[in-house]
Amino acid sequence: MGFIFGAGFFQSSPVLVAIVVGGLVAVVSGVVGVFTVTRGLSFAGHALGDLGATGGSGAFLLGGNQLWGFVVIAAVAAGAIELIGIRSTRGRDLATGIVLGAGLGIAALFLYLDTSFSNTTGASVTILFGSIFAIQSSLVPVMVVLGLLSLAIVLTLYRPLLFSGLSPDMAAARGVHVRAIGIAYLAALALAVSLSAMTVGAVLSTALLIGPAACALRVTRRPGVAIVVAAAIGMLAVWLSVLLAYDSYYWPPGQRGWPVSFFVVLVIFLVYLLTQLRPRAWADRHLARTQSTSPRLADP
Amino acid sequence: MTVAAGGDGEILRLEGVSVWLGGRQILDQVSFALHRGEVTGLIGSNGAGKTTLFRVILGLQPTTSGQLWLGGRTDPGSRPVIGYVPQSVPLDPDLPLRARDVVGLGLDGHRLGFPLPSAVRRQAVDEMLRAVDAEGFADARVGRLSGGEQRRVLIAHALISRPRLLLLDEPLINLDIRSEHEVVELLARIAGEQQIGVLISAHDMNPLIPVMDRIVYLAAGRAASGTTEEVVKTEVLSQLYGRQVDVVRVRDRVLVIAGSDEEPADDHEHAHAVAHPGLV
């Protein structure tokens, strides 16, 4: 065991914060991410994360914690996406891309100013690529509450979210308030992305949001199971990465741990590659089954 | 005033319904009625106002003038459940929804939270899948089914809430001839068995002719309704279009030739004439 869990792993308070907060954030991102992928909002979700860099660097400039910068900018950007209200995927992607470009331009200025004032590049790395071990323990309760809030929104709206994602017209005909559901979902997405940006960084928050969900969709065709699988993949990836990062202290070049975010992205990518191998056989099995029943359907 | 205007078995009545959208008149004084157990075809070319008319019936599109009775009532508060299958439901192959999940969403998809597993719910879903001959692919991902299979699943979705009125927007579009035939037969059977009113929109009336009890013909926002024999005549359609229109019968098929500046109502379906022998 000592070989796997490096000395002092379970006694280190940054490690415990990373395990608790990182695990929760991964669960939230995984659950929210399933709907991000099925609703065709992957690019919007990615943009909300990237724009976090603008908010995070701005907050840093003002002397605040980057968490609030992430949350505020994600909420504003999500509101903008909803207000623009473009229903065609291409139109939405274009608007998202333009807003994203402008936001990142501002982030470039803020990060430049941050490093000029503080005379260190630490802020840039923290904001862009995260620092799960540097989360202040005073922020833990806030992050837990925000994470549970995001989770509560999505789980409460589970059925209408699936329904309006399947077809907004059919859901509206059945009495679902499609617009209200969409707004509530964007709020949950903005929270999930902000928390994710805190742990793996603004740029890499996509990995936690889209990666586990994409893996889950490959291995199950049940919506409820997809949510559980995505949450589990995300959580295990983060925990494994925390462990690897802790142990990497003794790896070359030595006396400096490797970034957790690197391991998170790597683990999720490897899991995704694994899931690509399996479903072919499942699809074939389904094909064989439909063919065996089709002659009956042809009967008059 | 919420008293029914019509007589026996009347589910839906429109009187002089007009809709203006962005300075254009989409529907002009449309009046017709739908009855229990009957299949009605809503026929018109693209842009004739078919989808707008559906949205009016569903309460998603406000009318500029006119009156609408659903189950004999006009007040929107007591609006009964209407089954609806829109024209285009793009389903991604990786969508984590089985055919039975889609049908289940028709039952309680508007409610909050998770569906609790119950024998009653499962039985209702199974029964509806059986009614549309979809048991064979009940557990398959809905996005991987063929166009005809997806149509049947969506019809089951619309029917499971036990509506008295079923609206289908262009259900035959992009289907091969066999699937088209299966869907038409299924809809006719459902209308009879469950005694509901079925309104099917189509740009080509021919696949529907064998099962259609009534027709509502839309052209430039105006409607003519009645039996096929009453409506699909040179005089009636010429008056509707406001210019000379020719109704031509070739074997079992009806072609409406609406002048040189507009395509015939069934522009790309001529090959079907041979493939539908003896349907009329």
Contacts with B85 from chain A: Cβ below 8 Å: 170
The closest of B81, B82, B109 to B97, measured between CA atoms, is B109
Q: Calculate the alpha carbon distances from B35 to B10, B30, B32, B39, B83 in Å.
A: 4, 17, 10, 8, 15
| Nearest-CA distance B29 → chain A (Å) | 24
Residue A87: predicted pLDDT: 63
Alpha-carbon distance of A190 to A82, in angstroms, equals: 12
Alpha-carbon distance of B109 to B113, in angstroms, equals: 9
Secondary element (H or E) of residue A83 = helix A66-84
The CA-based angle B131-B135-B140, given to 5 degrees, is 135
Which region among A114-118, B5-9, B67-71, B126-130 has the lowest average model confidence (pLDDT)? B5-9
Amino acid identity, position A7: A
Contacts with A34 from chain B: Cβ below 8 Å: 96
**pLDDT tens column, B172-213:** 988 888 889 989 999 999 999 989 999 999 999 999 999 999
**pLDDT tens column, B21-66:** 988 999 999 999 999 999 999 999 888 899 999 999 998 899 999 9
Q: Chain B: residue nearest A292 by CA? A: B136
The verdict on a CB contact (< 8 Å) between B96 and A221 is: yes
Secondary element (H or E) of residue B82 = strand B82-85
| Nearest-CA distance A197 → chain B (Å) | 27
Domains of chain B, each with CATH number or no CATH: 1-80+164-233 (3.40.50.300), 91-163 (no CATH)
Q: Is B203 helix (H, G, I), strand (E, B) or coil?
A: coil
**pLDDT tens column, B104-151:** 999 999 999 888 889 999 999 999 999 889 999 999 999 999 988 999
Q: Is B227 helix (H, G, I), strand (E, B) or coil?
A: coil
Alpha-carbon distance of A234 to A215, in angstroms, equals: 10
Residue A280: predicted pLDDT: 54
* Average per-residue pLDDT for chain B: 85
Check if B15 contacts A (Cβ < 8 Å).
Answer: no
Domains of chain A, each with CATH number or no CATH: 27-282 (1.10.3470.10)
**pLDDT tens column, A166-176:** 998 899 988 89
Extract the residue ranges of chain A whose pLDDT is less than 70. 1-3, 85-89, 119-121, 278-300
Residue in this structure with the two tokens 């040179």, named with its chain if needed? B234
The verdict on a CB contact (< 8 Å) between A221 and B81 is: no
Residue B14 carries which DSSP code?
E
Cβ atoms A161, A183 nearer than 8 A: no
The verdict on a CB contact (< 8 Å) between A163 and B58 is: no
A&B contacts, CB < 8 Å = 112
| Nearest-CA distance B59 → chain A (Å) | 8
| Total-model pTM | 0.84
- H helices of A120-222, in order, are 122-129, 140-156, 158-166, 168-173, 178-200, 205-219
Contacts with A154 from chain B: Cβ below 8 Å: none
Q: Is the pLDDT of residue B6 over 60?
A: no
Residue A119: predicted pLDDT: 59
Please indicate whether residue B102 or residue A125 has the higher confidence score (pLDDT): B102
Strand order in the sheet with B82-85: B82-85, B165-168, B197-202, B39-43, B214-219, B222-226
Q: Chain B: residue nearest A216 by CA? A: B96
